[in-house]
Amino acid sequence: MIDYYEAIDLLKGMIARPSFSREEEAVADFLQASWEKEGHKVFRKGNNLWIIAPGFDFGKPTLLLNSHIDTVKPASGWTRDPFAPEETEEDRLYGLGSNDAGASVVSLYAAFCALSGQEQPYNLIFLASCEEEVSGRNGIESALSELPPIAFAVVGEPTGMRPAIAEKGLMVLDCVATGKAGHAARNEGINAITLAMKDIEWFSTYQFPEQSDLLGPVKMTVTIIHAGTQHNVVPDKCEFTVDIRSNEFYSNERLYDIIREHVGCEVKARSFRLSSSRTDREHPFVQRALMMGKEPFGSPTLSDQALMRFPSVKIGPGDSARSHSADEYIETMEIREAIDTYIRLLNGLRL
Cis, peptide link before residue 7, omega less than 30° from 0: no
What is the reported pLDDT for 64?
98
Handedness of CA 76, 80, 84, 89 (dihedral sign): negative
**Residues 260, 244 contacting (CB under 8 angstroms):** no
CA distance 160 to 103: 11
Q: Who's near 203: CB < 8 A, 6+ residues apart?
A: 220, 221, 222, 242, 263
pLDDT tens, N- to C-terminus, the chain (351 residues): 667 899 999 999 999 999 999 999 999 999 999 999 999 999 999 999 999 999 999 999 999 999 999 999 999 999 999 999 999 988 999 999 999 999 999 999 999 999 999 999 999 999 999 999 999 999 999 999 999 999 999 999 999 999 999 999 999 999 999 999 999 999 899 999 999 999 999 999 999 999 999 999 999 999 999 999 999 999 999 999 999 999 999 999 999 999 999 999 999 999 999 999 999 999 999 999 999 999 999 999 999 999 999 999 999 999 999 999 999 999 999 999 999 999 999 999 999
CA distance 253 to 53: 37
Angle at 248 between CA 245 and CA 254, to 5 degrees: 75
**Residues 276, 247 contacting (CB under 8 angstroms):** yes
109-155 confidence digits (pLDDT tens): 999 999 999 999 999 999 999 999 999 999 999 999 999 999 999 99
CA distance 212 to 191: 38
DSSP string, 264-300: -SEEEES-S----EE--TTSHHHHHHHHTT---EEE-
Measured torsion, CA atoms of residues 283, 286, 288, 292, in degrees rounded to the nearest 10: -160
How far is C-alpha 205 from the chain's CA centre? 27
Phi, psi of 220 (to 5 degrees): -120, 130
